[in-house]
Each structure stands twice: as C-alpha cells, then as structure tokens.
Amino acid sequence: MRVVVLAVLALLFATPPVHGESIEDQQWHLGALDAYEAHEISRGDGVVVAVVDSGVDETVADLAGRLLPGTGFGSAAGNGGVRDTDGHGTSMAVLIAGQGRGGALGIAPGAKILPVAAGTDGENFASGAVSESVRWAVDHGADVVNLSLGTPVESTPDLKAAVEYAFAKDVVVVAATGNDGARHIGAPANVLGVIAVSGTVQDGSPWPSSNTGALTVLSAPAQDIVTASPLSVSESGYSQVSGTSAAAALVSGVAALVRSKYPDMSAANVVNRLVTSATDVAEPGRDEATGFGAVAPLAALTATIPPVNQNPLLPGGTVVPQDPAAASADDPADPATLLALAGGALVLAAIGGLVAWRRARERRGPRIEVVAGWEPPPPSDDFWRPKY
C-alpha cells in the first residue's frame, strides 16, 4: 500500500516556569492573537474540534471537562483516544481548548475536544489509520478537524478521500505545512480546501523552519509556544514547542471561535471569513510564506464579509473581501468601490469585480530558507514524524 512520510512538530520540553510568572503569562501567542479580547465575543462554546494525533491524555488538568469520548486506530485501536505516551496530541488539544486554571489557556476554551489517536507513540502513523481517524471524527460530530501533521510526499487516495468527505459533511479541516524549511507542502495540507498553516515568530515574521509554497493559506505563532503535556512526558506538566503543528492548532481554535459565534454558518464561509480577515504579513494579497496572512481572531469574529457559495480554496472559489464600508480607507487590498450621489444621499456600492487575492506571487520581506538538496523522501510503510 502506498503511504506517505509524516513531518510535523518538533517537541521541545521547557524548563520549569519562571518564578512568579504563570504558565499563561508565558504564552506569548495569546497576546499576539488578541485572545482575551476575542474571548469577550466567543469562547468556542458548542463547537467540537477533533484532534487527530497521538491521543489526548485525559488526566491533564487544563483539559478537565473538555474531552468527549474518542477512539483510536492503528496501534492505538481500543484505547479510546485518551492515552498519549508521546505528548504531541495533548499539547495540541491544550492549545485549542485549554482551561487556563493556573495553567495553559487555549484559543477556544469553551470548545470540546474529540480525541482521535492515529497511533500510540506519535512516531509512526499509517496512512490508513489517519484516513480512518478523519472519517470517524466527521461521523462523530466534529465541526473542525485539526491535523497537526503533514507529509512531504503526495497524498494517498484514501487520505484525500477522507479530507474531501469532511468537506462534504460541512467540516473545516486545518493542517500543518511542515517544518523542513523547504518550499514544499505535502499532504494533507496540500489537499485543496484544507487550511494549510505555516508559522510565525514573536515579531510577526515567518518562522524560518516552516515549509512554504503556493498552497499556504494562513500563518500563526509557531515558535516557543508554551502548552501542557502529560506528566509522563514532562515532569512539570508543561512544555515549550516549536512547529507548524502548534500554528495549525491555534488556527483550529480560531475556527472554533467563529463556528461558535456563527452556528449557522457553513464551513465554506468559515474558511472564507478566516482568510479574508487575515492580517497581511508581506505585501497585500497571498504569498508563499504566510498565505493570506496571519490569522486574526478579532477580525474573523467581527468583520462584515459577504457570503460565498463554496470553499474559496477549492477550484473556482473566490475569496470575498470584507464589506468596503467596514474596511480601512487606506487598505491597499480593499476592492474598488463606486460612490454615487442620489437625492442628496451618498450611496456606497461595491463593483462586481473582486480583488484577486488567490493569486500566488513572489513574496517579499523575510526569506524562507530552502534546505539545500532537499527532496521528498520515498514512500515507506508508515507516516513518520521526526523530533528535531
């Protein structure tokens, strides 16, 4: 069976918290994403986020009351998805829905986590197990599927079909671009319609180790991200991680905030809202390093954005700009508008043509280093996630 090679997050264990400084205080990404202001509008209540990963440890205090009954596939079959000897899945779940009760706070603390273990150790995930995990998550109520995993080779038919099944069931799918520092995006992030997430650092510039490419959709914090881990993995119960896995989890959390505030909104329009409201990191429009820009929770929750009929990332889809009346007058990405005076009243109407935000182009600003001589590895019997 043709399978793919997995390249995900490098997990780096943190030193104990600085004396007098809480874990939450060390989560710099919360401020960067205006999480506290966003929580005044939405906390993700009523939304289910599936974490397809190494499992989610049910004993982690920051996830108390957040876990739904899950399952496992492959080598994790029968464990209910709530054992995690690797720590990766738990760390991602906390970034999404951590409670912050003296510990790590998630982007959507009101959301529920559906734990789906695709393997026991986080090192080797079979392609079929990941595909089954996605389908199971969709069939068991997931509104968002977080895939903090990725592959430098092409997708397998079963994985592509599973992701497309999620789209057909009105589910938002988020995936990591990878951490090779290469100009290459593999599956599942390269499946059209998936929100492929690259990383940024504290000053907002691209994280140099992110994989990049024309299919990059959004970016989010990826360097030195503090989260919780199982005690079996980290003596303190917390860890510091760097990678696009963390960035993807944060975007999944923002998707949960949007789905909670707009419960009747289709997945296609949630995706459009996220990409339309993103903050440009480079020049206006889409670029290979950060896609449409850095995810912006407050704008995603409050911007006036016209509806779309399909996922804008799919062939034939179009990213619909924010309502001109709600956009900044000096925003170079604003669509052209026509002002007409009628009966002494000023009428604002948007002209029919939409700004071509989906055009891939040469990026400016910080360059992403391509690993010299890097080539996708050949298919093997398992997914693989290296720990750098």
CATH code of residue 187: 3.40.50.200
pLDDT of amino acid 8:
45
Same domain, 273 and 345: no
pLDDT of amino acid 156:
81
In a domain, 313, yes or no: no
Helix or strand run (H / E) with residue 97: helix 88-97
Q: Is the pTM of this model over 0.75?
A: yes
Contact criterion met (CB below 8 Å) for 35 and 296: no
Among residues 42, 198, 245, 252, the one annotated as catalytic is: 245
Nearest CA to 127 out of 88, 89, 153, 90 is that of 153
Same domain, 227 and 280: yes
Check the CA dihedral 273-219-357-214 and report its sign.
Answer: negative
Domain count within the chain: 2
Kindly state the tokens that stand for 13.
């264990």
pLDDT of amino acid 317:
79
CA distance 143 to 114: 10
pLDDT of amino acid 346:
28
CA distance 370 to 383: 22
Among residues 39, 42, 53, 180, the one annotated as catalytic is: 53
In a domain, 1, yes or no: no
pLDDT of amino acid 22:
87
DSSP state at residue 295:
-
Nearest CA to 264 out of 43, 67, 46 is that of 46
**Residue 217 belongs to domain spanning:** 10-302
88 in active site: yes
54 in active site: no
Contact criterion met (CB below 8 Å) for 87 and 233: yes
Same domain, 76 and 213: yes
266 in active site: no
DSSP state at residue 384:
-
Torsion of Cα atoms, 20 then 22 then 28 then 32, to 10°: -110
Question: How far is residue 214 from each of residues 131, 192, 290, 335, 362, measured CA to CA in Å?
Answer: 24, 11, 10, 22, 10
Same domain, 342 and 229: no
pLDDT of amino acid 121:
65
Same domain, 166 and 223: yes
Among residues 88, 127, 219, 234, the one annotated as catalytic is: 88
| pLDDT averaged per 10 residues in sequence order, the chain, 388 residues | 40 42 90 97 98 96 96 91 94 97 92 94 77 97 95 82 97 96 92 97 96 96 95 90 97 98 98 97 88 98 95 86 49 33 30 26 27 39 38
Same domain, 243 and 339: no
